[in-house]
Amino acid sequence: MNFILSTAIVVTTLTSLFLVIRYRNTPIQGSVPVPLITFLAILFTSGLDVGLIMFPLVDFQSFASEPDYAFANPLALEFGFWGFLVWGFYFLTTFYFCVIEPKLKLFEIPAIKLANNVSIIGTCAFTGYLFLHYLPDYVKGISDIWRFSGVALVVLLAVLSSTHLRFVKALSLGSTGLFFLLILGAFLASDMGIAGLGNALAGLGDYFGQIHRFVLPLNDYHAFYLFWWFAWSIMIGQFVSRFVGGLTAWQLLLALLVVPSIPIALWFAVLYGYFSRSIDVTGGLGWAMIAVGVLFVVNSLDSLTRLYTQNIGLTVERLGTGRYVAINWLILFVLVLSFQFTPFKIEWVGLLVIAIYAAVYALVYRHRALLQG
């Protein structure tokens, strides 16, 4: 599987480089353009999920102890798994859905459309599963009945939010603002000070100095992350492409690589301060992380629920609000449980998305004459 993953990464990376050089000054416009700050908020909150909140403290421990990661400090490694270069996945798909899909309409081909919607629904469910799986690490002693009920409620809120685009936009802006407040609150509670934060951020030099190591999978755990990014890549590009407001290709790539990486770097640096000083995340900060994590889950799920329901016709306009909410809540919650109680893995979804890439590449080449001019 890792050979397939590595091949897909090399091909898509080279394609992105070609596109940003060939079309560097071409304006890219979505069907529903929004101001840049709104676009970036939608991108950030749709393109990430609860793992951003809940994974780092767990990952830091592994990165500090396992020999595969000895070449860099845990903060740089975590940033490499979540920040900068990996956001290039979204450039390729956003460009495709703004520039190429309107001409070729490949995602209206039944087989590709079906595979794409299966990948969207499966990845939505994985987001809910992550929240279900990691909740006991932050709410000590929580019973299974409260854990499953909490996830069911979060899925319900996401489906309700997806009923109208204005809810998606408002929640994206709100949760982005709350995430920055969480960073500030965690920083103030840590007593690490500006100097401590600066020292932590300086550790990111290990990432940029050895960025080439993060392109291909370091090991199976890194491969899991990269499959996860692939699983997200098409659906996020399909969703956020409609909101691009005239950025050129190079501006879009720069915005995708740099802007989301800033809050990610700050958040990880603050959490690394807790890890390196062996400070437990408890009390108010723990609950604040859960609250923002819930918002990230809702934000991811509502965006993607709106996407797949439009793709397959399970819309509010067709079903009515009540039936829309009931059907999509049932679909997503059942699939969340499938990750919990079956061998189903996000890597399988990533492989399906790579297969979609392969089909699209072949069809674009076949119909390349339609793209001339």
Mean pLDDT of the chain: 88
Model-level pTM? 0.87
Residue 104 region, left (φ>0) first, then alpha (ψ -120 to 50), else beta? Answer: alpha
Side-chain-side CA neighbours of residue 157 (13 Å): 15
> Can you read off the two tokens belonging to residue 15?
């394609």
Instruction: Pick from 192-196, 304-308, 311-315, 331-335 the range whose average pLDDT is largest.
Output: 192-196
Averaged over 4-17, what is the pLDDT? 95
* Mean of pLDDT values over 121-133: 82
Per-residue exposure over 349-370, b if at least 16 CB sit within 10 Å of its own CB, e if not: bbbbbbebbeebeeebeeeeee
Of all residues in the chain, the percent with pLDDT exceeding 70 is: 98
pLDDT bracket for residue 336 (50, 70, 90): confident
* Confidence tier at 373 by pLDDT (50, 70, 90): low
CATH number of domain containing 227: 1.20.1740
Does the pLDDT at position 71 exceed 80?
yes
Looking from the CA of 149 toward its CB, the CA atoms found within 13 Å total 5
Segment holding 246, helix H or strand E: strand 245-248
Total domains in the chain come to 1
Q: Lowest mean pLDDT: which of 20-34, 37-51, 142-156, 184-198?
A: 37-51
At 234-291, the pLDDT tens digits run: 988 988 898 898 899 999 999 999 988 999 999 999 999 999 888 887 778 888 888 8
pLDDT tens, position by position, 11-30: 999 999 999 999 989 899 88
- The residue range of the domain holding 307 is 2-371
